[in-house]
């Protein structure tokens, strides 16, 4: 995967791009079971700049955030799916509870968060503002989530099971 980079690799790339006066945007999340809301978020984030870097929660951090049984897909598969999207320029995987370390290492021009946040509720807000970055809310209204999709899938499977139709 050419788009998957370590944090030191990305720091060099971001520095080079910013020296060319390109705007770097950072988006982040678990991206477990990619759905239309994820795509809207990432495409809207990309529109905020020239280069879109996606910081992907590691398997361990998704488990801490979402609980037992998550993620559904392992981090390397999630990273591969993200890397296959045309709007995504680079992907990195992180294990911390938030992206402050990545923000401080890369200092992206824009930190894009989904519409479940406001410019004032973004957890890393102070970090972004400390180096002169901007916060953007991207992706439109939140109408999908993986956490809501999983029970829907399980209900549909249960309803279509041959044992339940007998």
**3-state SS of the chain?**
CCCECCHHHHHHHHHHHHHCCCCEEEEEECCCCCCHHHHHHHHHHHCCCCEEEEEEECHHHHHHHHCCCCCCCCHHHHHHHHHHCCCCCEEEEECCCCCHHHHHHHCCCEEEEECCCCCCCCCCHHHHHHCCCEEEEECCCCCCCHHHHHHHHHHHHHHHCHHHHC
pTM: 0.87
**Token digits for 64?**
């801490």
Write down the pLDDT at residue 11.
Answer: 98
Query: Distance (Å, rounded) from C-alpha 152 to C-alpha 166?
Result: 22
Class of domain 7-165: alpha beta
Write down the pLDDT at residue 149.
Answer: 65
Q: What is the mean pLDDT of each run of 10 residues along the chain (166 residues)?
A: 95 98 97 89 98 97 88 95 98 95 98 93 97 93 62 68 57
Write down the pLDDT at residue 109.
Answer: 98
Write down the pLDDT at residue 95.
Answer: 96
**Token digits for 19?**
């020296």
- Domains of the chain: which residue ranges? 7-165
């Amino acid at each position: 995967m050419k788009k998957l980079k370590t944090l030191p690799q990305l720091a060099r790339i971001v520095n080079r791009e910013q020296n060319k006066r390109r705007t770097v945007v950072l988006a982040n999340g678990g991206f477990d079971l990619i759905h239309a809301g994820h795509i809207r978020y990432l495409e809207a984030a990309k529109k905020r700049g020239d280069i879109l870097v996606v910081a992907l929660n590691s398997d361990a951090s998704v488990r801490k955030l979402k609980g037992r049984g998550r993620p559904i897909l392992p981090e390397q598969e999630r990273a591969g799916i993200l890397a296959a999207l045309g709007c995504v320029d680079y992907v990195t995987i992180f294990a911390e509870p938030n992206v402050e370390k990545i923000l401080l290492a890369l200092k992206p021009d824009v930190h894009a968060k989904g519409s479940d946040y406001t410019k004032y509720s973004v957890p890393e807000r102070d970090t972004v503002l400390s180096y002169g970055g901007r916060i953007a809310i991207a992706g439109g209204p939140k109408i999908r989530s993986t956490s809501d999709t999983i029970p829907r899938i399980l209900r549909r499977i249960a309803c279509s099971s041959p044992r339940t139709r007998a």
